[in-house]
Structure 1
Amino acid sequence: MNTIQFYGADWCPDCQRAKAYLKEHHIDFNFIDVDIDKSATAKVEEINNGKRIIPTLIINEKSYTNPDNAALASVLGINSQGIIKLYGANWCPDCQRAKAYLQDNGINFQFIEVDKHEWAAKLVEETNNGKRIIPTIFINEKAYTNPDNAILKDVLKIGAEAEKHIYDSIIVGAGAAGLTASIYIQRDRFNSLILEKKNIGGNAFLTEKIENYPGFTNISGPELMKKMAEQAKTYGAKIETGVSVNSIQKKSNIFSVATNMGEYQSKTIVLAQGSTYRKLGIPNEEELIGAGIHFCATCDGAFYRDKEIIVIGGGNSALEEGIFLASFCKKVTIVNWGETFTASETYIEKLPSIKNIETHMNKESLAFIKDERGNFKGLKVKDRITGEQEELYADGTFIFIGLIPNTENVKGYIGLNESGFITTSGLGETNIKGIFAAGDCREGAIAQVAAATGEGVLASYGVRNHFK
């Protein structure tokens, strides 16, 4: 039987998410660390047209680049009823009938072609006393030989009305704001569900070192976020990762939350879905993202150990991540638009003492440079005072020029300002009664972990008042 080949790294948030999902459903896989096995890095680049994108999974000889949990569920046949594997062939009429029935009823199944995989044909024969009968369908490891639609309907309970749990509050986003809101909501004896698109911790999870969170002079983002998540779970919160919220609707005072993993219902909603990194919008940027251009030093910095990189930006994130990268990169060149940095003095004061950091001020980024093979080569910049242009060469670059709120899924429903941030009043109330907002997606929010926790508390009080 083919084993899933999982190319990734321990520091990669999406790898952690995918590994956790596979383990949760007791699916075996062979984890190959690209930091240890350099041939694995080459394999990842080969699969992804030169881009170092992880996780990359190979399932039955087909590759999947950073699949979300919904994609994994679809490919591997993961359902609320269990795991379904259909062994068959495309030319088989009964296989086509069974596949169509499952698809029509929204049932995920892993289709394994017996013509292409000798081990699959052998398994079918062993299951059916030497006979190669297809389709043979395994539902939670129990085999059904060429079951008709009536049997599938009965075994999978297709058509039965599923009892939907109505939560007191659904929190969209498992960053500092969302986790804190959940802690307080649970302590008020309300039940909450956190839906997180990627990983627990949000942008804070991607921060190597946090030095300004009260009570900790130095703690890593992942460690702090892990403590918050554990505390939320201790009070009874439920957290589901890999769940993307597509839309929210209110029906008879109950909110229906449509996601890539199905529909959820709740009496209140807390939008704490954070923000994502802003791009420069210059030539060659899009095609080089993941292949020389990155937005998270904690995620991708390890690829550039002992190499030269460029950091673009002048705020806290740029300097903080630049200093982190300088600890293992050969050279870090910081390119800043302004005449001075906008970062905290704490970071600015550290720069002169770090010998492998070079700064370029008043520089406008014009275009990313590619070599003759189309690989990343450097950055073309222009001096904003003299107009002089130059090319800065490096092995890769990291962009830290601000954030964009993750609010596309509520646009046209929730009140947003011109920049896309959620407008609120009082205790984080939005224009829809029963929906609250907290953290980086909210207008006026301060992009700091300590501030986000405070906003989570504020929103939780809004939820409490809603039930009075």
Structure 2
Amino acid sequence: MNDILLYGADWCPDCRRAKAYLKENNVAYTFIDVDLDKEATARVEAINNGKRIIPTLIIKNKSYTNPDNVELASVLGINETGRVQLFGADWCPDCKRAKSFLRDHGINFEFIDVDKYDWATQKVEEINNGKRTIPTILIDDIPYTNPDNVKLTELLSINVEKEHKIFDTIIIGGGAAGLTTSIYAQRDRFDTLILEKSTIGGNAFLTEKIENYPGFQSISGPKLMEKMEEQAKTYGAVIKTGEEVIAIEKQDDIFSIKTKSTTFLGKSVVLSTGSTYRKLGIPNEEELIGSGIHFCATCDGAFYRDKDIIVIGGGNSALEEGIFLAGFCKSVKIVHRSENFSASETYVEKLDTIENISTYMNKNSLEFISDEKGLFKGLKVKDNDTNEASVIEADGVFIFIGLIPNTQSFKNIVNLDNRGFIQTTGLAETSVNGIFAAGDCREGAIAQVAAATGEGVLASYGIRNYLK
């Protein structure tokens, strides 16, 4: 478990101080008296280059030599409002969002990486009824599963002031399109604000490898998005994550952008909210999401190392992510409803070279099967030629069957087509003067990072014309 070792002695004032601080904040620890344990003395000397400095603490396999209470608070997540422990992973977008929010508001938190500690993964599963849902945040040992910034503000009594500055443009969505719009707008000396409800990077951030972005033969999605974010900030863009927009109003040529926590003001708006993964809509899907059913190989693939998985879909995303998963999973079974893949030949040809990938073609997904404990067991399918039903067993499944635009919040603000995509004309202009759209949420958009950056450039020219 998350044991804390405190090497010290009863006569040591700083040891007494450290013990009292841990006790006051209900932090469990094991005290090892160096006067009674020669091996403990030797370990303290090894840690401190031959010096017998106490107290020396070991917290999650890292040593701290005579830390003061401020350092202990920072390492252990101790605050006036309680002790904060964040169970998550570096690749998790909502973990990144939560960590940024806590840091921005001066909240100490202890980050516990579920990829490094088996006990941490087990604790997350116990809290979430078998689901590996992160971030899971404990505040004084009370768990909260993926709390948004509004909930964290309430729980930690954070004072959030209303933003009074009027930005030249407010970009809703921090994917490739939104970041590119910001870069170009800032170069035109327009103050930009990016509001992102989760974390910067959008779907590209969740892509393990990108091989068709100009200038890079191969680059990871997170790395490419980090470069774009860094560039936007370098030019002066303000970026706020965890801000979900719930309303847009226009009065006297100024747009009021309301989020769950506050209100922002801007002279123009860009909608670049991207898209989310489409679900199958079959029995037991909702119940098993997060507990066997997933939509992001980069996010959740690590949970299935050396295990058997199913990938549903036949497009580029399905094959690309299936190939990625095959690199560390025991086996990958690709299920597709048609006789032929719709993916590009590059991906189809790769399948034949990978021994642990098998394909199940021309089969419709009927329902997900769970075991007696309610955990994922397999997928029931029907052969389209014979109508024969069978069950494909696995430890988990990843669904890649297309995208749905994130535009529900704008259906009464701008014109959408019958599929929910934002309709635009000219320089990314919507039906409302001063509101523009770019990226996967726009009608006719191509769901590729390179295309999204191009649309961001187009939107920036629309902003320039409108503001001037």
Q: Normalising by structure 1, what TM-score? A: 0.82
Contact 2:171/2:270 (8 A) holds in 1: yes
Alignment of 1:151-170 (within 5 A): 164-170=164-170
The residue matched to 1:346 in structure 2 has which SS? helix
Measured against aligned partners, the alpha-carbon deviations of 1:124-146 in whole angstroms (never above 9, x if no partner) come to xxxxxxxxxxxxxxxxxxxxxxx
1:348 aligned residue:
348
1:50 aligned residue:
130
Mapped to 2, the partners of 1:29 and 1:230 lie a distance apart of: 25
Unaligned runs of 5+ in 2: 1-24, 26-81
Shift in Å, 1:19 = 1.3
1:408 aligned residue:
408
Task: Give 2:147's match in structure 1, choosing from 42, 67, 77.
Answer: 67
Measured against aligned partners, the alpha-carbon deviations of 1:412-464 in whole angstroms (never above 9, x if no partner) come to 22100000000000011000000000000000000000000000000000000
2:372 aligned residue:
372
RMSD, aligned α-carbons: 1.0
2:318 aligned residue:
318
Shift in Å, 1:15 = 1.1
Mapped to 1, the partners of 2:445 and 2:376 lie a distance apart of: 35
The residue matched to 2:302 in structure 1 has which SS? helix
Residue 76 of structure 1 pairs with residue 156 of structure 2: yes
The number of residues matched between the two structures is 388
Amino acid at match of 1:361: M
Q: Normalising by structure 2, what TM-score? A: 0.82
Mapped to 2, the partners of 1:198 and 1:260 lie a distance apart of: 13
Mapped to 2, the partners of 1:463 and 1:385 lie a distance apart of: 53
The residue matched to 1:3 in structure 2 has which SS? strand
Residue 41 of structure 1 pairs with residue 121 of structure 2: yes
Amino acid at match of 1:62: I
Measured against aligned partners, the alpha-carbon deviations of 1:334-382 in whole angstroms (never above 9, x if no partner) come to 0011111111111111100000001111110000001111110000001
Mapped to 2, the partners of 1:230 and 1:373 lie a distance apart of: 46
Mapped to 1, the partners of 2:196 and 2:413 lie a distance apart of: 20
Measured against aligned partners, the alpha-carbon deviations of 1:5-29 in whole angstroms (never above 9, x if no partner) come to 2111122111111112212222112
Alignment of 1:184-195 (within 5 A): 184-195=184-195
Q: Which moved more, 1:57-66 or 1:3-12?
A: 3-12
Measured against aligned partners, the alpha-carbon deviations of 1:182-205 in whole angstroms (never above 9, x if no partner) come to 000000111100000101000000
Residue 19 of structure 1 pairs with residue 103 of structure 2: no
The residue matched to 1:78 in structure 2 has which SS? coil
Q: Which moved more, 1:243-252 or 1:204-213?
A: 243-252
Amino acid at match of 2:458: L
Mapped to 1, the partners of 2:141 and 2:225 lie a distance apart of: 36
2:283 aligned residue:
283
1:91 aligned residue:
none
1:236 aligned residue:
236
The residue matched to 2:286 in structure 1 has which SS? helix
Measured against aligned partners, the alpha-carbon deviations of 1:263-283 in whole angstroms (never above 9, x if no partner) come to 111110000000000000000
1:258 aligned residue:
258
Contact 2:163/2:263 (8 A) holds in 1: no
Mapped to 1, the partners of 2:451 and 2:236 lie a distance apart of: 24
Amino acid at match of 1:173: G
Mapped to 2, the partners of 1:393 and 1:222 lie a distance apart of: 32
Mapped to 1, the partners of 2:187 and 2:237 lie a distance apart of: 10
Residue 431 of structure 1 pairs with residue 405 of structure 2: no
Identity of aligned residues (%): 68
Residue 296 of structure 1 pairs with residue 376 of structure 2: no
Amino acid at match of 2:99: K
Amino acid at match of 1:20: S
1:175 aligned residue:
175
Q: Which moved more, 1:27-36 or 1:254-263?
A: 27-36
Residue 306 of structure 1 pairs with residue 306 of structure 2: yes
Structure 1 segments of 4 or more deviating over 3 A? none
Unaligned runs of 5+ in 1: 82-161
Mapped to 1, the partners of 2:225 and 2:202 lie a distance apart of: 8
Shift in Å, 1:163 = 7.2
